[in-house]
Amino acid sequence: MEPWWKGAILYHVYVRSFFDADGDGQGDLAGVMARLDYIASLGVDGIWLSPIHPSPNRDWGYDVADYDGVHPDYGTMADFEALLAAAHGLGLKVLLDEVLSHTSDEHPWFVESLTGGPDGPKADWYVWADPAPDGTAPNNWLSVFGGPAWAYQPARRQHYHHKFLRQQPKLNWLNPDAREAAISVLDAWLTRGVDGFRLDVAGTFLHDAALADNPAIPASERTARHWKHAGDMQRHLHDSNLAENIPLLAEVRRRVEAHGDRFVFGEFSEEEAICGGYCTPTEGLHSGYTFVMLLEDRLSPAFVKDHYATLAAYPGHWPTICFSNHDVPRTASRLGDGSPEAARLMLALLIALKGTTLIYQGEELGLPQASLRRDQLRDPVGDLYWPYAGGRDGCRTPMPWTPDAPNLGFSEGEPWLPAAPEHAGLTVAEQQADPDSTLALARRLIAFRKASPALTVGDIGMLEATPAILAFVRRAEDDAVACVFNMSADPAVFEHPALAGAELLAVGAGEAEIRGGSLGLSPYGAAFFQMPLLTTPG
């Protein structure tokens, strides 16, 4: 029997923007609980909550100040326990987002490491190094969020390493006590009953003890993506992404598995082939997702074909697949033209691909990216790169619930980010009343997938098609489903001998029609049909 997480669909809740139950403008755990019936009605298997721990919110929860608590903006431990029980009562798994690579600089561990003296018990719990003779950083490591990945602290006369913000010092996983303290966080929450974790930046736990410089990416090999951030101009081979990370991930997985039927998957944003992003469930974590699809901004069959060609080189790996999350522009705008048709195409594709699926809140509504003024931004990355880029707030605006309430039904108070005008007309209430809405399609697609062994746990094989068409077959035992997607704004035709006499299955996006051996698709159309079992991909 396959584990529950293989082929599961998880709904990603960005808690601060989901639903505000107490009117203070911040989404909270009581708000998630109030909308659990809605989440369950989608047909998903569980929820992944963004970080819920106390934090000074320099990076909105990804700078943890207390791993054993609940952020007061979100409620209390009793609120979490009530949410967990209610979710389990509806048959939903609950996974937490744990940030174990780094902490807040306000975490007691870091305060003690900074102030406890060179021989203190936590002196080596973070990555400290002497400055260069001229006072500059110890090496050339660059932060993801801009500038050197080092900050000087006169109290120790040393720099500490931070791969992200200066206020996010890097835990030293080479120190066995620090490593055990981090992994024990998982034990504590598993004991409370959570079903697993998404591990933030899971390739970054280890660093090179010798602090060797990262090599540059030669200018001749740089693409437009490399020039967006200075940190992308070097290969991050020594500040993170070490091959030794893989057995460490396996240790983490075994600790999680010791608590029973749980699931742990990781985020891998760089050098994923080296550091564990494509491991088998016995070599590293159970699964992982990369930024390959999250960073793609051109809609064509190539980005899917290329990624699954990469995955084919790691046959034991079970992927986690997502197109959208709290870090990247929303799918409908990034990969489409913002239209409902493009959003529905991408939703159908997401549900059809092999892997465990992550749906970001609002993706089931087809929400486009929101535009904000600089004075409305709360993301430090947005402020850093304004006006070149708006940062991540455009995908974090409040969930739109009702059209005739303040802030589209998210909160009665002033919301932490404004409700997006772009989301008016796309609220849950309006779409639930429309059988032809994107939300209605999402529910049909999820039910369709869950009824099909091929779409849930089957293999994937690509089919030849014209440049506008992506086509593949999902197969499992006696079930085979062909999945065809028109990735253009013009009508397109897919031809295959198996179409002769075939009938379209009852779910799809746009309009489709079979004539003989041809399948006609409307712009951004998606269609599914049963495939003869003896047909081979190609």
Q: Provide the pLDDT for residue 118.
A: 85
Q: Which of 359-363, 378-382, 401-405 has the lowest mean pLDDT?
A: 378-382
Sheet holding 526-530, edge to edge: 459-462, 469-476, 479-486, 526-530
Amino acid identity, position 246: I
323 contacts 364 by C-beta, under 8 angstroms: no
Taking the C-alpha atoms of residue 286 and residue 34, their distance in angstroms, rounded to an integer, is 31
Arithmetic mean of pLDDT, 341-347: 96
Q: Is the pLDDT of residue 228 over 90?
A: no
48-77: pLDDT as tens digits: 999 999 999 999 999 999 999 999 999 999
Q: What DSSP assignment string belongs to 222-290? A: --GGGGTSGGGGB--SSSS--TTHHHHHHHHHHHHHTTSS-EEEEEE-S-HHHHTTT--TTTS-SEEEE
- In angstroms, the CA 236 to CA 141 distance is 8
Active site residues: 200, 267
The domain 459-530 is placed in CATH, from the list 3.30.70.20, 3.30.230.70, 2.60.40.1180, 3.90.550.10, at 2.60.40.1180
Cβ–Cβ under 8 Å, residues 445 and 348: yes
Could you say which DSSP state residue 84 is in? H
How large is the average pLDDT for residues 349-361? 98
At residue 475, φ and ψ (nearest 5 deg) are -135, 140
With b meaning 16 or more CB within 10 Å and e meaning fewer, what string describes 474-493? Answer: bbbeebbbbbbbbbbeeebe
| Each residue's pLDDT tens digit, 424-465 | 999 999 999 999 999 999 999 999 999 999 999 999 999 999
Measured between alpha carbons, how far is 37 from 133 in angstroms, rounded to an integer? 60
CB-based contacts of 167, cutoff 8 Å, min separation 6: 56, 58, 59, 63, 104, 105, 106
Put simply, whether the predicted model's pTM sits higher than 0.95 gets the answer yes
- The yes-or-no verdict on residue 381 having pLDDT over 60 is yes
What is the pLDDT at residue 533? 65
If one counts every other C-beta atom within 10 angstroms of the C-beta of residue 152, the result is 15
Q: What is the pLDDT of residues 24-33, one digit of tens each?
A: 999 999 999 9
8 Å CB contact between 333 and 362: no
Write out pLDDT tens, residues 325-343. 999 999 999 998 888 999 9
Query: What pLDDT is stored for residue 536 in this prediction?
Result: 47
Q: How would DSSP label each residue in 293-350? A: TTS--S-SHHHHHHHHHHHHTSTT--BEE-S--TTS--HHHHTS-S-HHHHHHHHHHH
User: pLDDT category, 230, cuts 50, 70, 90?
Assistant: confident
Distance between CA atoms of residues 48 and 151, nearest Å: 32
Share of the chain above pLDDT 90, in %: 92
Domain boundaries, the chain: 459-530
Q: What is the pLDDT of residues 262-292, one digit of tens each?
A: 999 999 999 999 999 999 999 999 999 999 9
The chain-wide mean pLDDT, for the chain, equals 96
Q: Measure CA of the first residue to CA of the last residue in the chain; give whole Å.
A: 30
Could you tell me if 158 and 128 are in contact, meaning their C-beta atoms sit under 8 angstroms apart? yes
Helices (H), 122-244: 176-191
Rounded mean pLDDT, 187-204: 98
**Per-residue pLDDT for 225 more than 90?**
no
- Confidence check: pLDDT of 537 > 60: no
Closest residue by Cα to residue 285 from 254, 260, 312:
254
Residue 383 pLDDT class (50, 70, 90 cuts): confident
Which of residues 384 and 430 earns the better pLDDT score? 430
Query: What is the pLDDT at residue 229?
Result: 84
pLDDT value at residue 501: 85
